[in-house]
Structure formats: structure tokens, C-alpha cells
Amino acid sequence: ETGVTQSPTHLIKTRGQQVTLRCSSQSGHNTVSWYQQALGQGPQFIFQYYREEENGRGNFPPRFSGLQFPNYSSELNVNALELDDSALYLCASSLAVSPYEQYFGPGTRLTVT
């Protein structure tokens, strides 16, 4: 186990709704990255948070937003859900000094109907 936890495990939402996913990073890790993994695909980078600020973003629209808290935990918010948002959402924590050694949580599986 990596020590990274995510909640909820599974979620079903309706198109147009909003969702908030949560991530607790591994102890001591100050950087959190979020990824979207569609079935049969590799994870796609959404954004990264470091010291409570967004520190890079992938090709995702503004309706994907996030937060990082002083304890380094993080939230991913998605507004106006679309059917294509159905995926596994993974968060990964790391240390800023070794950003590539990322430890992933088990993910939240989101289904949009």
C-alpha cells in the first residue's frame, strides 16, 4: 500500500451534475497530481498542486478544478459532468524534490449517466 487514499471508491452521477473527489497524500508528500484514466488508456494528466497552488495543467477544460489544503490533501472538482467524464480518477503524491517518484492512490471510479 502506498499510503495515498482516495474517496469515494465509486460514484455514479448524472450528466450536468457536479462532483468532488478527495485525495489524502502519503505522509510527508507535498505535491499532488490528478489523472484521468479511461478504460484501456493510460492515465492522462489533469493538473498538479504544490503548496496549495496549481503547478501545471494538462489539456482539460476549466470545469476541471482543484484545491490543495495545508495538510497537502487535495480535491478534484468537475462541473457540468459529461458522459465522457466517466473514468477512473487517480491522484498521485510525491515530494517536490523528487517529483517523478509518484505514489498513486487506488482511484475513484466515476460513472456519468
Q: Does residue 87 bind another protein (CB under 8 A)?
A: no
- Torsion-angle region of 63 (φ positive above 0: left; ψ -120 to 50: alpha; else: beta): alpha
Q: Does residue 44 bind another protein (CB under 8 A)?
A: yes
- Least Å from the CB of residue 30 to another protein: 13
- Least Å from the CB of residue 77 to another protein: 19
Q: Does residue 11 bind another protein (CB under 8 A)?
A: no
The SS3 of residue 99 is strand
Q: Which span sits near another protein by CB under 8 A: 17-25, 68-76, 77-85, 105-113?
A: 105-113
Q: In sequence order, what are the residues at sequence separation of 6 or more whose Cβ sits closer than 8 angstroms to the Cβ of residue 49? A: 31, 32, 33, 55, 66, 67, 68, 74
